[in-house]
């Protein structure tokens, strides 16, 4: 993956759902990104068609139609398709993310592979293609870049972006889609693409795995195309002396330039591959290839492209097959030419019917043996963590040098809540030494009965809810005549009802029997305290005193008001009065009675008017507290008018 170039899609959320984290690879038709489905919180691969192609409505329609078809192809060795959609100029395909490398990465690093490793990769590829062929699809772009090898060794076929229905395969004119190094002669010459073009490409891939190099190399893509049309794929043993003749024969059958001489589909080639393996000795399978050198080739040879087809008159085609000298293959069900049952080593070759049955099973179930031994020194066995707590499982993984990719939770009747019920990869499987494991913890049974918690202390009740798989919810309080204070009065839902795990259960806790609180304002602190304590209430005095109409030293107010119900043991806080504030009295002598009343009330006093029995004056002659002196807040100031 080229991380040196900025990609405008990295960091974006496509279609409001897929957050693109990094670019994985870029090809001639699309770019593949590692992304996160924010709706399901899972990592996947997002294949985004190049905008230039997305502008072609016919191409997009075909892309969508074919993506839907491939999504129905469920096979362990096929990269699964989850979703397809568009976002503005971007047309995308959401696929399974396979953490690992491609076969191309392996070939670049190691060169030629041992025959055993090559066949262990080829067989699951053929199983995947065989299932596709039997379902009516042709891949059309098989190459090492589209063979993924997971960290756990599983082999999967990717990029069915050029897939076509077998029924819809016709001659095309002018151009052909594909990768030059793996195109069958009929694709180049006539644009024909049926199941046998995938067989041809797999033969080229097998040759490349056995030798570390492509069979036809040229300075330009046009030269490579010419060689595919006019020259047979050479036997692998010509490049790697010592390889078994059975491997030469297998490559020859798969890459026959005349498509009529090839196996009809990948399932048929898988049968021949299994027969060829059965005839090989351990020495043949484990032959060590010579040190390979990186081949020089044009990058265009490995890129999926729209390739102009040569005109027959301009490019003479010689389809004379090597099978003039090598016996022709008998067809999909027949053994490789020259192999006679009587020549099979004792006990070494299975019967035809058994092999056909094995092929059928492999097509249905996939080839899951994997090729972990290619990088065996870099792999670690996942410990068995079933039944362990999450903390114990993390400790085991840490000791093994592995990490935790994520934690999932599922229902289980067999495993206690909070214990490991599954791991991905499973215990015993080998993964890369710095790999990570997903842990699945049990949520317990799918339905849980709410326990009867009445009368149990609050903390004990919470622990019991957690133990059975429910969540302690909101806690409220209520008076109760029969449940001790601090214990559970009831729950919602009530005890005995069944709920899904993790359902919140609200708890009602007893406040004890209700106690009516008397009014103690105006009483001395001692009197108020004795009165409240006699009812089972606790009393405390506020540290600060306040001015109030109550005499100094008496209770100015109480925290729980008179007439309110409290619980036994509740605390009532008493605030002590410092007496009323002393406020200055305004001088109202000589003022009109109404004006004098307003002035005194505004200053914080009560007003009393004293009029003589016979008086015709409405003017204040005197006041009980002279203006300028202080008087208690709220006290009464008497004003008098003049009499006769």
Q: Looking at the annotation, which residues are catalytic?
A: 141
430 DSSP β-pair partners: 381
Task: Give the start-end residues of each E strand in 16-157.
Answer: 18-26, 30-37, 42-49, 81-87, 90-96, 100-102, 137-138, 147-150, 155-157
Distance (Å, rounded) from C-alpha 472 to C-alpha 459?
10
Residue closest to 325 by CA, chosen among 244, 261, 392, 259: 261
Distance spanning both ends of the chain, measured CA to CA? 115
Phi, psi dihedrals of residue 589, rounded to the nearest 5°: -60, 135
Quick one: DSSP state of residue 629? S
Cβ neighbours of residue 614 closer than 8 Å, sequence gap 6 or more: 643, 644
CA dihedral 289, 294, 298, 304 (to 10 degrees): 50
Contact 244, 280 (CB under 8 A): yes
Distance (Å, rounded) from C-alpha 364 to C-alpha 382?
27
Helix/strand/coil (H, E, C) string of 207-236?
HHHHHCCCCCCCCCHHHHHHHHHHCCCCCH
177 DSSP β-pair partners: 306
Contact 20, 11 (CB under 8 A): yes
Distance (Å, rounded) from C-alpha 283 to C-alpha 288?
9
Distance (Å, rounded) from C-alpha 347 to C-alpha 415?
46
Helix/strand/coil (H, E, C) string of 502-533?
CCEEEEEEECCCEEECCCCCCCEHHHHHHHHH
Q: What's the residue count for the chain?
A: 644
How far is Cα of residue 451 from the mean position of the Cα atoms in its chain? 34
Distance (Å, rounded) from C-alpha 424 to C-alpha 82?
19
Q: Based on the number of CB atoms within 10 Å of its own CB, is 536 exposed (0-12), middle (13-18) or buried (19 or more)?
A: middle
Rounded to the nearest 10 degrees, what angle do helices 245-254 and 266-279 cross at?
A: 170
Distances (CA, A) of 420 to 423, 428, 429: 8, 15, 16
Cα torsion angle, 104, 109, 115, 116, sign: negative
Distance (Å, rounded) from C-alpha 180 to C-alpha 170?
20
């Amino acid at each position: 993956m080229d991380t040196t170039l900025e990609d405008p899609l990295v960091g974006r959320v496509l279609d409001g759902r897929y957050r693109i984290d990094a670019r994985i690879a870029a090809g001639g038709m699309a770019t593949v990104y590692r992304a996160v489905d924010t709706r399901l919180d899972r990592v996947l691969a997002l294949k985004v068609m190049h905008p230039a192609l997305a502008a072609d409505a016919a191409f997009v329609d075909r892309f969508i139609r074919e993506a839907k078809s491939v999504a129905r192809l469920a096979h362990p060795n096929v990269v699964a398709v989850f979703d397809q959609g568009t976002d503005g100029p971007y047309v995308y395909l959401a696929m399974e993310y396979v953490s690992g490398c491609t076969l191309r990465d392996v070939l670049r690093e190691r060169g030629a592979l041992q025959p055993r490793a090559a066949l262990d990769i080829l067989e699951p590829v053929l199983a995947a293609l065989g299932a596709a062929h039997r379902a009516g699809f042709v891949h059309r772009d098989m190459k090492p870049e589209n063979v993924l090898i997971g960290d756990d060794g599983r082999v999967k076929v990717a990029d069915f972006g050029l897939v076509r229905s077998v029924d819809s395969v016709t001659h095309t004119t002018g151009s052909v889609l594909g990768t030059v190094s793996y195109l069958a002669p009929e694709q180049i010459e006539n644009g024909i693409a049926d199941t046998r073009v995938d067989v041809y490409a797999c033969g080229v891939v097998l040759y490349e795995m056995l030798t570390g190099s492509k069979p036809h190399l040229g300075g330009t893509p046009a030269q490579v195309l010419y060689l595919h049309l006019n020259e047979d794929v050479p036997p692998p043993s010509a490049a790697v002396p010592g390889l078994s003749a059975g491997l030469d024969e297998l490559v020859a059958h798969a890459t026959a330039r005349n498509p009529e001489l090839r196996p009809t589909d990948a399932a048929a080639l898988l049968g021949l591959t299994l027969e060829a393996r059965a005839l090989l000795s351990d020495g043949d399978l484990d032959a060590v290839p010579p040190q390979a050198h990186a081949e020089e080739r044009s990058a265009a040879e490995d890129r999926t492209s729209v390739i102009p087809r040569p005109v027959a008159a301009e490019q003479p085609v010689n389809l004379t097959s090597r099978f003039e000298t090598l016996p022709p293959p008998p067809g999909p069900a027949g053994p490789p030419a020259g192999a006679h049952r009587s020549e099979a080593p004792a006990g070494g070759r299975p019967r035809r019917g058994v092999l056909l049955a094995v092929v059928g099973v492999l097509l249905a179930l996939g080839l899951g043996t994997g090729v972990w031994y290619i990088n065996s020194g870099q792999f670690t066995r996942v410990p068995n963590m079933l039944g362990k707590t999450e903390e114990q499982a993390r400790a085991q993984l840490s000791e093994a040098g592995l990490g935790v990719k994520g934690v999932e939770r599922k229902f289980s009747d067999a495993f206690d809540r909070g214990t490991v019920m599954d791991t991905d990869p499973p215990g015993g499987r080998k993964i890369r030494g710095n790999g990570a494991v997903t842990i699945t913890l049990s949520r317990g049974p799918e339905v849980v009965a709410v326990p009867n918690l009445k009368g149990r202390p609050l903390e004990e009740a919470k622990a019991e809810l957690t133990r059975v798989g429910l969540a302690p919810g909101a806690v409220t309080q209520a008076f109760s005549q029969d449940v001790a204070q601090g214990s559970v009065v009831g729950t919602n839902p009530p005890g005995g009802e069944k709920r899904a795990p993790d359902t919140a259960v609200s708890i009602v806790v007893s406040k004890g029997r209700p106690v009516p609180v008397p009014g103690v304002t105006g009483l001395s602190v001692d009197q108020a305290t004795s009165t409240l304590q006699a009812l089972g209430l606790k009393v405390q005095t506020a540290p600060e005193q306040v001015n109030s109409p109550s005499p100094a030293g008496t209770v100015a107010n109480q925290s729980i008001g008179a007439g309110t119900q409290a619980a036994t043991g509740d605390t009532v806080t008493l605030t002590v009065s410092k007496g009323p504030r002393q406020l200055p009295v305004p001088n109202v002598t000589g003022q009109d009675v109404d004006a004098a009343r307003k002035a005194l009330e505004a200053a914080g006093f009560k007003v009393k008017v004293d009029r003589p029995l016979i008086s015709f004056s409405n003017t204040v002659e005197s006041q009980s507290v002279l203006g300028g002196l202080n008087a208690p807040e709220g006290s009464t100031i008497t004003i008098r008018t003049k009499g006769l």
